[in-house]
Amino acid sequence: MSKQREELEHRLKLRNIKLSDYEDIREIMISIYKDQGGAWTKQELKNQLKAFPEGQICIEDNGKVVAAALSLIVDYAKFGDNHTYDQITGFGKFDTHDNDGDTLYGTDVFVDKEYRGMRLGRRLYDARKELCENLNLRSIIAGGRIPGYSKYFDQMTPRKYIDQVKSKEIFDPVLSFQLANEFHVRKVITKYLPEDTDSRAYATLLEWINIYYEKDEKLIGNKKSIVRLGLVQWKMRRFNSVDDLMQQVEFFVDTVSGYKSDFCLLPEFFNAPLLAEFNDMDASEAIRNLADYTDEIISRMSDLALSYNVNIIAGSMPEYDGKKLRNVSYLCRRDGTTDKQYKLHITPDEQAYWGLQGGNGIKVFDTDAGKIGILICYDVEFPELGRILAEQEMDILFVPFWTDTKNAFLRVNTCAKARAVENECYVAITGSVGNLPRVENMDIQYSQSAIYSPSDFSFPHDATVAQAAENAETTIVADVDLDLLTKQRKAGSVRNLEQRRLDLYSVQWKKKK
């Protein structure tokens, strides 16, 4: 390789600034800020390195600094939004730095003019974001110049100018870059840098929010990031009693618990084999008699949740209060508490055979492994329900189902996957397999259990985390990452929840009169 070729090659390295880098830094700042005060003094850089060495970042090329980003940690409440650059930097002394603060404040970013177009500024911004996340700071805040405003100040207000830059009608060399790096404008401030004539002394107060920020870190009991799901694809078989049924339930609860699952999901009407006891009755009377077992099953299911340290979504069972027959799914938490979700939409077949009625409410359930929702079978085919739950910050949607034929299964399956994509959440579905001779309306089963995710780079390419074999009794045990959902909702390729046109439409729950 020729000497000339070696000299042309870039060797970029991201690192923290050293005091010995001062001359390189001074040279860049003088060339860029000759009309805005020039460069920091060596003593000012020394003060900043002493106060917060981790926050001073640079990119070198073949040993020479060609770009840098400087920052401090501040208790932002002490300054508020109406501060000046001198106030928040302590007039260059940097005695405002506070290791116990909550905000990373960007004091400067600059790139050698000869290195423009190499996206070094983006690398520095990404490094700042990583620092903010690793230090568990609430956000990055900075005052941003709007140098392009000098061409328009006699035509529009700063607010109008910023709106034009946001809509890309105007390009501003500073603000356009900051908006492209996921910063948003909190407000317009005046006299931030009085000497900045290009910006007419105006500035934008910009913020990037750390979506992973945790206000109160605890040594134990924090919200889980990785959650393990256990799904039971249940085979319908004859049971002679509730004891027989619960023995099989306990086998599967024990199995998924052995893999340290956080949740165990059972199918809709998993207790239907007990209907065989009422074969001499018509279908509507038989299922009302089946409902007599529900309280006992839930009591024993709750005991299993405690004993095996797993949250159980107990499929669904009939509930009859003497007036209404409903289909209900119980959440048995491993702390001993229970909750329930009624099926809202009743199929024509369920209405005709059994006289089932729909429930009237829906909610997100808090658990020690995230916020969850439950939609029973047919309910997942109504997208409004998933959206209402997503607006309540649901992480995982559980769908216990029962389908007899493949086309019925495909309706549930396709809609469940759509709910995961459109609501940026995980969706876990499971049903039953096998046959129940002589049990009217529950005789054949079809299922292929699965866990679905959003569709983006952080997730499986086909939005399928895991999938069971068709029509075989089995389990799925798989991990889902809740932090990826947070990232998807704020920084995904598309952001279905964030980018809804709420000025045009909305989904609202009507209170039942």
Q: Is the dihedral of CA 259, 260, 263, 264 positive or negative?
A: positive
State how far the Cα of 347 lies from the Cα of 362, in Å rounded to an integer. Answer: 18
Q: Is the dihedral of CA 155, 159, 163, 168 positive or negative?
A: positive
Residues in contact with 416: Cβ distance below 8 Å, sequence separation at least 6, in sequence order = 380, 397, 399, 427, 429, 450, 452
Which strands make up the sheet holding 365-367, listed edge to edge?
365-367, 370-374, 396-400, 426-430, 450-452, 464-467
Active-site residue, from 235, 340, 343, 417: 343
Residues in contact with 279: Cβ distance below 8 Å, sequence separation at least 6, in sequence order = 286, 438, 439, 440
Judged by DSSP in three states, 258 sits in helix
SS3 content of the chain, % helix, strand, coil (to 5): 35, 25, 40
Residues in contact with 243: Cβ distance below 8 Å, sequence separation at least 6, in sequence order = none
The phi, psi pair for 369, rounded to 5°, reads -130, 35
Q: Does the annotation mark 363 as catalytic?
A: no
Residues in contact with 289: Cβ distance below 8 Å, sequence separation at least 6, in sequence order = 277, 278, 281
Active-site residue, from 58, 377, 415, 425: 377
Using H for helix, E for strand and C for coil, what is the string for 491-512? Answer: HCCCCCCCCCCCCCCCCCCCCC
* Number of DSSP helices (H) and strands (E) in the chain, helices first: 14, 21
Q: Does the annotation mark 114 as catalytic?
A: no
Active-site residue, from 60, 207, 264, 268: 268
Residue carrying the six token digits 């068709």: 470
Q: Write out the two tokens for 482.
A: 């809740």
Centroid of chain to Cα 249:
32
State how far the Cα of 210 lies from the Cα of 393, in Å rounded to an integer. Answer: 17
Q: Angle formed by the axes of helices 406-423 and 383-390, to 10°?
A: 30
Using H for helix, E for strand and C for coil, what is the string for 450-477? Answer: EEECCCCCCCCCCCEEEECCCCCCEEEE
Q: Does the annotation mark 377 as catalytic?
A: yes
Instruction: Tell me the C-alpha to C-alpha distance, in Å, between residue 274 and each of 240, 243, 244, 297, 439.
Output: 7, 11, 10, 12, 9
Q: List active site positions.
A: 268, 343, 377
